[in-house]
Amino acid sequence: MRRWGLAALLAGVTWQTQAQPTAVPTVAPAILLRPAAVFDGQDLHPGWAVLVENDRITAAGPAAQLALPAGGRTLELPGLTLLPGLIEGHSHLLLHPYNETPWNDQVLLESQALRVARATAHAQRTLLAGFTTARDLGTEGAAYADVGLKQAIDKGVIPGPRLLVATRALVATGSYGPKLSVDEDVPQGAQEADGVDGIIRAVREQMGKGADVVKVYADYRWGPGGSAQPTFSQEELTLIVQTARSAGRGVVAHASTPEGMRRAVLAGVETIEHGDEGTLEVFQLMKKRGVALCPTVAATDAIAQYKGWKKGADALPPRVQQKHLSMQAALKAGVTLALGGDVGVFAHGDNAREMELLVRDYGLTPLQVLRQATSGNAQIFHLADRGNIRPGLLADLIAVAGDPTQDVAAVCQVRLVMKGGALYKQP
């Protein structure tokens, strides 16, 4: 009986272990990473190594000066560059490419269960592509599902990046979509709110449900086929920022028109998303007020191709031409750029497309976009514990083949992914 009881007990222990799988790999007590070079978030350092203990970086510098603690292991990474985990500044994990399913159909026809299942796969692809943090800016009709995704990742249920979530986002009544028959009231892709009481309630509700950041649509298309126009008044936008800031949250604004951008900047938002029609004057105002631009050039590029543009063969479509003009103005004004592609419009896991386009089509250097995707985004998003390689920061690290400071395409050749000291991918 004792033997049977012990066997049953052991079987029970085994069953309990098997019944509680985790998506988080085991964290080694100490790992010494020895790549060909280290990009620390600012500069490249050939011959450096990085020591990780538990979930933190404990040392970084010339390899000969770093000693491995007893019980640790060394991971040789010849030919690879080690850099901070990349930070995606504008994503929608609950969307998938519009050439697969139009946005209207995703919002109206796909069940939340299906969308969450897709998002689970999207989160894993994002992480394995080297993006260990992502700012997810709206569920687009999927309510607060991003909060659950974040919890599942943090608890080790599914693999994915560390998330900053915006939940439902805020729109002025009548300004968003889907826009179908005027006879039908259909679910919208964001939360409608107007006036003092409505705005305060909506902002507080989203923060109470788990929003890390509040997103507002400062302009959008009014009516079927309408052009983008400002939505909220100056007073309403200011109230949104004040309400969020009082609870320690920042506000980001979707804005593409000069007036929508101007109102959002004066209200005190932290970033402008898209800025398609931005003028030199409004970008100079952004520079003066310390507001960053997340240009999302990859989304503009992808949507144009979905509409039939044959890139490299056809002339630039008007929207792509306008994006080039706005970027020229932003660069001339010296606006701080955040790195984010509006991924979800195009495939998750292809996040680095934004980095490649900024270099190839918009004239930035690989070093500029690397800094944007690491230390730059960390500073803009108030993430003091990541984005650089130095002692005390989170051990969110990736290794890529080649030198990304010379060829940005190297960031597409991810060979190692570490998040919090746990290895999700290694050579």
Q: Where exactly are the structural domains of the chain?
A: 26-84+388-425, 86-351
Q: How far apart are the C-alpha atoms of 188 and 107, rounded to whole Å?
A: 8
Contacts of 23 (CB under 8 A, 6+ apart): 153, 156, 157, 158, 159
Domains 26-84+388-425 and 86-351 share a fold: no
- Count of C-beta atoms within a 10 Å radius of residue 279: 18
Distance of CA 103 to the CA centre of its chain: 19
Distance of CA 43 to the CA centre of its chain: 23
Q: Is the pTM of this model over 0.85?
A: yes
pLDDT at 181 over 80: no
Crossing angle for the helix pair 234-245 and 195-209, to the nearest 10 degrees: 30
Q: Tens digits of per-residue pLDDT, 227-238? A: 899 999 999 999
Give residue 222's pLDDT band: very low, low, confident or very high (50, 70, 90): confident
DSSP, collapsed to helix, strand or coil, labels residue 269 as coil
Q: Tens digits of per-residue pLDDT, 121-168? A: 999 999 999 999 999 999 999 999 999 999 999 999 999 999 999 999
> What is the mean predicted confidence (pLDDT) over 199-215?
98
Identify whether the C-beta of residue 351 lies closer than 8 Å to the C-beta of residue 87: no
Identify whether the C-beta of residue 252 lies closer than 8 Å to the C-beta of residue 137: yes
CATH of domain 86-351: 3.20.20.140
Alpha helices in 192-255 (DSSP H): 195-209, 234-245
> What is the mean predicted confidence (pLDDT) over 75-85?
98
Which residues, listed in sequence order, are joined to residue 400 by a DSSP beta bridge? 81, 414
pLDDT score of 28:
79
Retrieve residue 97's tokens: 């490419």
CATH of domain 26-84+388-425: 2.30.40.10
Mean pLDDT lowest among 10-14, 35-39, 100-104: 10-14
Using DSSP bridges, classify how beta strands 30-39 and 44-46 pair: parallel, antiparallel or unpaired: antiparallel
80, 74, 86: which is closest to 46 by C-alpha? 80
pLDDT score of 367:
98
Q: In the sheet where 162-165 sits, what is the strand order?
A: 86-91, 131-136, 162-165
> What is the mean predicted confidence (pLDDT) over 55-66?
97
Q: Tens digits of per-residue pLDDT, 243-280? A: 999 999 999 999 999 999 999 999 999 999 999 999 99
Retrieve residue 359's tokens: 């270099």
Q: Which residue has the tokens 């089509």?
A: 361
Q: Tens digits of per-residue pLDDT, 273-321? A: 999 999 999 999 999 999 999 999 999 999 999 999 999 999 999 999 9
42, 138, 202, 69: which is closest to 345 by C-alpha? 138
Retrieve residue 99's tokens: 């050439």
Q: What percent of the chain is predicted at pLDDT more than 70?
A: 95
pLDDT at 13 over 50: no
pLDDT at 12 over 70: no
Identify whether the C-beta of residue 202 lies closer than 8 Å to the C-beta of residue 170: yes
